Amino acid sequence: MPDRISLRWKVGAIVSLLLVSVAVVIAVALVRYERYFLLQEGDKRVRALTQTLAVSARDALLVGDELRLGPIIQSIMQDPDAVHAFVVDHEGVIAYHPDTQLIGSRLPPPGGQETDGLLEAVVPVVVEETVVGTAVVALSSDFVDRATRATAKGLLARLGLGTLLGLGGILLLTELHVRRIARLEQAVRLLGAGNLRAAVNLRGRDELARLAADFNRMVEELRKAREEIERGVTETVRALASTIEVNDIYTHGHCERVARGTRAVAERLGVDEERLRDFELAALLHDIGKIGVATDILAKKEKLNGTESLQMREHAEFGARILGAVSFLHEVAYYVRHHHENWDGGGYPDGLAGEEVPLASRIIRVVDTYDAMTSSRPYRGALSHDQAIQLLVADRNSQFDAKIVDTFLELAEEGIVESIRHQVDHGLAA
Ligand SMILES: [Fe+2]
Q: What is the pLDDT of residues 146-187, one digit of tens each?
A: 888 888 888 888 888 888 888 888 778 878 888 888 888 888
How high is the pLDDT of residue 31? 86
Tell whether 189 is covered by a domain: no
User: Ligand 1 centre and the CA of 241: distance in Å?
Assistant: 12
Q: Are residues 266 and 369 in the same domain?
A: yes
Last residue of a domain, one of 121, 153, 185: 153
User: Ligand 1 centre and the CA of 267: distance in Å?
Assistant: 22
Q: Are residues 281 and 381 in the same domain?
A: yes
User: Ligand 1 centre and the CA of 400: distance in Å?
Assistant: 15
Q: Are residues 268 and 394 in the same domain?
A: yes
CATH number at residue 124: 3.30.450.20
Instruction: Give pTM, 2 decimals.
Output: 0.57
Q: How confident is the model at residue 5 (pLDDT cuts 50, 70, 90)?
A: low
Tell whether 284 is covered by a domain: yes
Q: Are residues 405 and 264 in the same domain?
A: yes
User: Ligand 1 centre and the CA of 339: distance in Å?
Assistant: 7
User: Ligand 1 centre and the CA of 274: distance in Å?
Assistant: 24
Tell whether 196 is covered by a domain: no
User: Ligand 1 centre and the CA of 287: distance in Å?
Assistant: 5
| 141-154 pLDDT per residue, tens | 888 888 888 888 88
Q: Are residues 29 and 139 in the same domain?
A: yes
Span 12-19, average pLDDT: 81
Q: What is the rounded CA–CA span in Å between residue 223 and residue 141?
A: 79
Q: What is the rounded CA–CA span in Å between residue 323 and residue 350?
A: 18
Q: Are residues 135 and 230 in the same domain?
A: no
User: Ligand 1 centre and the CA of 312: distance in Å?
Assistant: 9
Span 78-87, average pLDDT: 88
Tell whether 177 is covered by a domain: no
| 98-143 pLDDT per residue, tens | 887 888 887 665 544 446 678 889 899 888 888 888 889 998 888 8
In this structure, what is the dihedral angle of CA atoms 213, 219, 220, 226, given to the nearest 10 degrees? Answer: 170
CATH number at residue 378: 1.10.3210.10
User: Ligand 1 centre and the CA of 313: distance in Å?
Assistant: 8
**Is residue 377 predicted with pLDDT exceeding 80?**
no
User: Ligand 1 centre and the CA of 357: distance in Å?
Assistant: 15
CA of residue 48 relative to chain centroid, distance: 67
Tell whether 169 is covered by a domain: no
Total domains, the chain: 2
User: Ligand 1 centre and the CA of 242: distance in Å?
Assistant: 14
Tell whether 160 is covered by a domain: no
How crowded is residue 46: how many other Cβ atoms within 10 Å of its Cβ?
30
User: Ligand 1 centre and the CA of 258: distance in Å?
Assistant: 11
Q: What is the rounded CA–CA span in Å between residue 156 and residue 27?
A: 7
Last residue of a domain, one of 153, 177, 210: 153
* Summary mean pLDDT of the chain: 86
User: Ligand 1 centre and the CA of 283: distance in Å?
Assistant: 10
Give the number of C-alpha atoms closer than 13 A to the C-alpha of residue 395, restricted to the C-beta side.
19
Task: Please give, one letter per residue, the 3-state secondary structure of 347-391.
Answer: CCCCCCCHHHCCHHHHHHHHHHHHHHHCCCECCECCCCHHHHHHH
Residue 178: which residues within 8 A CB-CB, separation 6 or more?
4, 7, 8, 11
3-state SS assignment for residue 115: strand
**Is residue 430 predicted with pLDDT exceeding 70?**
no
| 44-58 pLDDT per residue, tens | 999 999 998 888 888
How high is the pLDDT of residue 113? 45
Q: What is the rounded CA–CA span in Å between residue 276 and residue 363?
A: 12
Q: Are residues 14 and 129 in the same domain?
A: yes
Q: Are residues 234 and 140 in the same domain?
A: no
| DSSP for residue 141 | T
| 184-236 pLDDT per residue, tens | 888 899 888 888 888 888 788 888 888 888 999 999 999 899 889 888 877 88
| 282-311 pLDDT per residue, tens | 999 999 898 888 888 887 878 889 999 999
Tell me the C-alpha to C-alpha distance, in Å, between residue 212 and each of 143, 202, 286: 61, 6, 41
Q: Are residues 246 and 128 in the same domain?
A: no
How high is the pLDDT of residue 1? 46
- Domain extent at residue 120: 2-153
User: Ligand 1 centre and the CA of 136: distance in Å?
Assistant: 121
Span 16-36, average pLDDT: 86
User: Ligand 1 centre and the CA of 286: distance in Å?
Assistant: 6
Q: Are residues 229 and 335 in the same domain?
A: yes
How high is the pLDDT of residue 396? 93
User: Ligand 1 centre and the CA of 381: distance in Å?
Assistant: 18
**Is residue 237 predicted with pLDDT exceeding 70?**
yes
Q: Are residues 8 and 139 in the same domain?
A: yes
Q: Are residues 417 and 286 in the same domain?
A: yes
How high is the pLDDT of residue 248? 60
Tell whether 175 is covered by a domain: no
Q: What is the rounded CA–CA span in Å between residue 126 and residue 124?
A: 6
Tell whether 217 is covered by a domain: no
Last residue of a domain, one of 104, 120, 153: 153
